[in-house]
Homo-oligomer: A and B are copies of this chain.
Amino acid sequence: MATIEDVAKAANVSMSTVSYVLSGKRTISADTRLRVEQAIRKLGYRPHAGARALAMSKTHIIGLVAPLRAGVDVNVILQFVAGIATRARERDHDVLLLTQDDADSIARAAQTSMVDALVVMDVESDDPRLETLESVRQPVVLIGLPHDPRGLSCIDLDFEKVGQRAAEHLIEGGHRRIALIGAPEEVRKRHTSYADRMLHGLSTACRAADAEWTYQPTPSSGSGAAASVDAVLKRMPEVTALMVHNEVALPHVISHLQTLGLRVPEDISLIALAPGSVIDALARPVTGIDLPAERIGRLAVDTVLGDDDAEVRLLQPVLTDRGTTRHLT
């Protein structure tokens, strides 16, 4: 590999001049610039990332903490990742993937100065990684909202409002018995922040309107989805509306309702929370709230790279009516 010294020699200038041609941090005569640029091209020179990081104390690498846990929705995860990776490159950064589920691996990446910033996914209400994250020199952004963010930046969909908005929409339509078909049980068990918040929003709105609600964790499989629907119907026979917050289960819920002879929305209303792409891919789109995962990923990068110093930023849910909720007379 050619070094900056090789280029300097080939162009008959000093190393500093080559460096400044590259960085544009001082004015260079047209003639010199040309010679340097030619030498760079001829030698196929690229600055050594490690050397540059050492000299500048900047790695141009963002650490992405993405534990691959049971029950997570891979589709949604990958949308977050896509948003983060794309935006990072647009801003001349790379992404270091940290999949280990412990605070130590975060500490390691941060303390060895491998990364300039950290984006953390799959945040729990009382996340054990927070202490480490707080102690780290680099800026951090959480995708999610713990009970106590401890001054860390957070960005997420406002899941509390999602639950609330969905419930209100149904309640306004006269519904009094609502079931939430949620994420797989593991997700709730570890108090993944969005599951907690969503349920809280929904239950609060229901209580305020004196409506009944029930919560049904649901495995991400066809049979699990069907079983969940059955369980709900058994527990709450008079249920008139289903809110589905489980992207994988969603199509299976729909087909199982069909199998049971329950028409949507005549017999039962349906409202979903899922990425727009998932809703669009359904044979028949459903009324729902978009989960803008890719956009959140992009915003996370912007936040952590500093031009957004928003402490806690919660995107407001937008409900799109596609006719799968019925107005009960």
Contact = CB atoms under 8 A, between A and B. Distances in A.
A318 interface: no
Contacts of A221: 251, 281-283
A97 B112 contact: no
A64 interface: yes
A53 interface: yes
Contact of A50 (B54, B86, B105, B108): B54
Number of copies: 2
Interface string A97-137: 11110000100110111100000000000000000000001
Contacts of A89: 99-100, 105
A85 B112 contact: no
Interface residues of A, number: 49
A310 interface: no
B99 A82 contact: yes
Contacts of A75: 74
A48 interface: yes
A328 interface: no
9 nearest interchain CB pairs? Answer: A223-B283, A50-B53, A46-B111, A49-B112, A85-B99, A222-B251, A50-B54, A97-B97, A221-B281
Given A49-B114, A68-B78, A77-B78, 5 more contacts: A49-B113, A68-B82, A94-B98, A222-B255, A255-B255
13 contacts: A46-B111, A49-B112, A50-B50, A50-B53, A61-B96, A77-B78, A86-B99, A89-B100, A89-B105, A95-B97, A97-B97, A222-B254, A222-B282
